[in-house]
Chain A
């Protein structure tokens, strides 16, 4: 871990405006922003840990808990909402037994909402890892999840 985070930091300068790019890179490597990462960043940029939490908790992109093996993002943009996006989220939460923003106990899935993926004409859409699935229904989604272990 220390080596990996040093490698991330090495790509960035020490000015405060590097904070968000650093957090993004850290999350790309570890999947989330851990407490020890924050400590290291704090020393590197010479800003307080509070300040880092203040900034990172403001933005929806950052998470502070370990993600599941597969990240499911349900799009709740307007077009997706009008075509039943929130029903997808409800049934997903119910089916996996977790709430939005949480990870299943077996670490298989985490579920989140996203404001818009910009595929509005194919709504409703769901993103699993990096793939976007279009024109989803509750039943199609249930079938789809079987492909992810």
Chain B
């Protein structure tokens, strides 16, 4: 314990020195999404600027604060000034910002998004007062964007591993009691009380027990777990120590998607640091508790998010679910008692242990305590990673935090492919496990996809069923055959060949699959179809009766046309058309041969944004010959 106490002391003084503002600091948001937006080029730009101007500063790569729509973010903290954040930075802006700070000695007020100080600073708003951030409560994400995820010292300096040390001082039973009092429910989707699962595992006989961190974030449209691991890996690993201690496990495994290479790198590095600091291995900090953590990379199968399939995959088999009981808590990995907890559940634990259950009970509502992270994406003004108290309404999330939709709002999908699609009338629904279930959807792991009138509901249902149908492992008939049938019917409707009877067939199939499928994937697969049938029946009917797709998405029901009066004959579309469907001499209205058109949108985009006329190409409901 002493050795670590010393390390913590030195980490804290290092942290204070870093923050006492003697040296300028440039923070670059460099999680995967920041990198995709060009963060690493900016980092090089900063280095070049400093060299050319003979200035010195510390450059720190931090994780993701959450407002992805502001990516890439560059923050600058000059001695004696608060940290100022700049958004959507490009090379030109970067030069202006750096010049402003390093040469003129003042922030660039026009470009600044916000600052992180406590008081007013030069008329720049506080970052956390921005409309997207103000309604949020950050518990799990507290360190994201603030500490260097590659430095254990910075995590220690912000009270990292304090929760685990507190846990070590009490008995495992007490730790379970704390989690029970906190009312923590599994954040992977189902919302099962964490303490109950733990108790079963703790009481199961067995020499060897396992703790698995489920980081197989397979829901398309969800990236909360990736962001958390990339921005604050130690929080998740500390949670694993706490959980491992509580259930009596000596081996921990992080099962993570191979599609997240940066997250895997950061975990590996963090695990190495833990070992170096005596936080892994035999008799951790002089206690009886021994623990090791290994990383297993998933190989790309959505069904492996299901507990028993995940276990199969770790054992080197096809990831196919098994019927339960026996539950993994009694007989799981290699037939030993095994607990599988989601990344976010584990990331929450250090906070609960450190601050106590009463503190945690202040957030959320009765039966749904605490906060939940969501990835808010789709047709929304301010997409990003958010964290809100359970019990917040969808309206607050979409309009206050997300800034609303550019075109009229149509629907929101919660819970990914296993969830449901909710219409406008549900905007005042509170986000908690029970309310979402009562509307036919689920909380799921936390993907929120917002759709506007340009999204076709039939196409969306088809998309999700295409996904679940492909990802179905094929073990049980309802899921394997049933999802295939649903998809075929949806395809028919989307082609304009549906009949009214199809809607009844979809309903019956959906209900049967829900009742008959073996695992969570199959049991929830029909949800997108069933909820859209319930709340958007008219759109299905339009496809069937009028052969019309009002969002102009379903390819069989639309056609592209050149508006002769608008077209200036600039040839932009002729150049991009991959099939040669558009022809015409320069300066004369072009012709579009519908028989060659593959509806790829190239001409539409180029006309809209780059061509002289703009909007001379339209997409509209096809005229049918019947």
Contact = CB atoms under 8 A, between A and B. Distances in A.
Interface in B271-301: 296-297, 299-301
Contacts of A54: 318
Interface string A106-133: 0000000011111111110100001011
A10 interface: no
B601 A138 contact: yes
A59 interface: yes
A68 interface: no
Given A20-B316, A114-B259, A122-B36, A78 B301 contact: no
Interface in B146-199: none
Contacts of B377: 78-79, 120-121, 123
- Interface size bracket, B side: 35 or more
Given A58-B319, A116-B259, A119-B33, A79 B378 contact: yes
B317 interface: yes
B260 A21 contact: no
A101 to B, nearest CB: 12
Given A122-B37, A122-B68, A116 B222 contact: yes
Interface centre among A23, A117, A120, A122 (most CB of B within 10 A): A120
Contacts of A18: 316
A121 B71 contact: yes
A6 interface: no
A133 B379 CA distance: 19
Given A78-B221, A118-B33, A122-B68, 19 more contacts: A15-B316, A21-B297, A58-B318, A58-B473, A61-B258, A79-B221, A91-B601, A91-B602, A94-B600, A115-B220, A115-B467, A116-B223, A120-B222, A120-B223, A121-B377, A121-B383, A132-B36, A139-B576, A139-B606
A82 to B, nearest CB: 5
A61 B304 CA distance: 13
Contact of A118 (B32, B69, B71, B384): B32
B316 A138 contact: no
A29 B601 CA distance: 38
Interface of B: 32-33, 35-37, 68-69, 71, 217-223, 226-227, 258-261, 296-297, 299-302, 313-319, 375, 377-379, 383-385, 413, 416-417, 447, 449, 451, 455, 460, 463-464, 467, 471, 473, 576, 578-579, 598, 600-602, 605-606, 610
B375 A133 contact: no
Contact of B449 (A59, A82, A134, A138): A82
A95 B580 CA distance: 12
Smallest CB-CB A-B distances: 10 pairs: A121-B68, A77-B220, A78-B221, A60-B300, A59-B299, A118-B223, A121-B383, A116-B220, A19-B316, A132-B36
A87 interface: yes
A58 B301 contact: yes
A78 B33 contact: no
B578 A94 contact: yes
Interface centre among B33, B220, B413 (most CB of A within 10 A): B220
B301 A77 contact: no
Contacts of A82: 378-379, 449, 451, 455, 460
Interface in A37-72: 54-55, 58-62
Nearest to A125: B36
A139 B226 CA distance: 30
Given A62-B299, A134-B37, A142-B576, A76 B220 contact: yes
